[in-house]
Amino acid sequence: MSGIVSYGTYIPKYRLRLSSIAQMWGKDSDEIEAGLRMVEKAVSGFDEDAVTMGIEAGKKAIELAEIKSGELESVYFGSESHPYAVKPSSTSVAQYLGVGNNYFAADLEFACKAATAGMQVSSALLNSKVIKYGLVIGSDAAQGKPHDALEYTAASAACAYILGNNKNEIIAEILEMSSFSSDTPDFWRRDGARYPSHFGRFTGEPAYFTHVMGAAKNLFAKSKLKPSDFDFCVFHMPNGKFPRVVGKKLGFTSEQLAPSLIVDKIGNPYSASSLMGLACVLDVAKPKQKIFFVSYGSGAGSDGFIFETTEKLLKRQKKIIPVLEQIEDKIYISYPEYLKHTHAI
């Protein structure tokens, strides 16, 4: 038995309206907002990166778990914007958090599903009783080339999850896992390139929808459950349209999906996207509720999980600042300020 013991989130204060980007490039902001189903995105500060945001999320997760950081026996850091090409982010975070030296560590890269791959590895270590607690972080200071379609959605945030195998501490048990992977190059960034490239509409089919639905169908088959058996569903959110479409295709209702949809207000923080949606659900879920979860990473693959909440969740909820409340703590910046924050100028 393994599951989530606690979680922590970090969302930068800065926001950029999509209308500011559209105005800069002479585009119709109403058309863009309607197409993406977004209005603004979170932007990291000029002195923030994936590691600093991951540290902030990790501190919250440790505090909520009521354990000592030295009890963590694994640290997996998922990101596609690691500050260094050669130097681990996982050890930087662990050192700052006071984890010690006796822990498994790895930086994971699989586009936006890097951190959920870390959750699968951690769950395996926990189920085999190799470790008692593991920290998984998904953090990105996402980049999009100026005047590229990605610029409207690429955002910044971090999520941290502590997983454990003590049933008296677990707030959401992992009932089932699945993955669906292929070599589908819808999105990539070559070594030394500053910004990623993508195939535009190819990102929808056969990339996002094929892989999310593939992992989802695997979960249904393995669990013998159907959409109506779940209280919530969570999907990776590259924009506001895709998760709504895939949820409907799979048979979920808008009510099951709505609590997870943070993309509308903060954009797509890549490795933190689906995990932030899960945090939103855990903020409001009640005990004995089932959560259907599927991430997505370009390149391409999806990881699926079925979670069931426990009575322990109620105690954790009393101590957190909900994600939706964190989102409202914001400062709007102009497009020139945004370029400074992202070091584009």
This prediction has a pTM of 0.96
Residues 186 and 309 in one domain: yes
Residues 235 and 166 in one domain: no
pLDDT of residue 65: 97
Residues 137 and 222 in one domain: no
Residues 6 or more apart in contact with residue 192 via CB below 8 angstroms = none
Domain that holds residue 198: 172-315
Residues 34 and 108 in one domain: yes
In contact, 80 and 270? CB cutoff 8 Å:
yes
Residue 204 has pLDDT above 60, yes or no: no
DSSP 8-class letter at 271:
G
pLDDT of residue 11: 98
Kindly state the percentage of the chain with pLDDT values over 70: 97
Could you confirm whether 343 is annotated as catalytic?
A: no
Cα 147 from Cα 24, distance rounded (Å): 9
Residues 7 and 23 in one domain: yes
DSSP 8-class letter at 166:
-
**Active-site option among 73, 112, 233, 280:** 112
pLDDT of residue 144: 82
**Active-site option among 40, 80, 169, 176:** 80
The pLDDT-based confidence of 142 (bands split at 50, 70, 90) is confident
Residues 146 and 196 in one domain: no
Residues 140 and 195 in one domain: no
Q: How many CA atoms lie within 13 A of 123 on its CB side?
A: 24
Residues 164 and 180 in one domain: no
**Domain CATH number, residue 289:** 3.40.47.10
Cα 103 from Cα 73, distance rounded (Å): 4
Residues 85 and 145 in one domain: yes
Residues 142 and 15 in one domain: yes
Cα 187 from Cα 111, distance rounded (Å): 9
Residues 126 and 161 in one domain: yes
Cis peptide before 300 (omega within 30 of 0): yes
Could you confirm whether 112 is annotated as catalytic?
A: yes
Cα 62 from Cα 68, distance rounded (Å): 7
Q: How many domains are contained in the chain?
A: 2
How do strand 133-141 and strand 74-78 relate by DSSP bridges? parallel
* pLDDT tens digits, one per residue of 71-100: 999 999 999 999 999 999 999 999 999 999
Residues 159 and 46 in one domain: yes
pLDDT of residue 200: 58
**Locus of tokens 């959110």:** 237
Give, in order, the Cα–Cα distances in Å from 111 to each of 25, 271, 299.
27, 7, 7
Could you confirm whether 280 is annotated as catalytic?
A: no
Cα 254 from Cα 207, distance rounded (Å): 23
**Active-site option among 82, 211, 236, 341:** 236
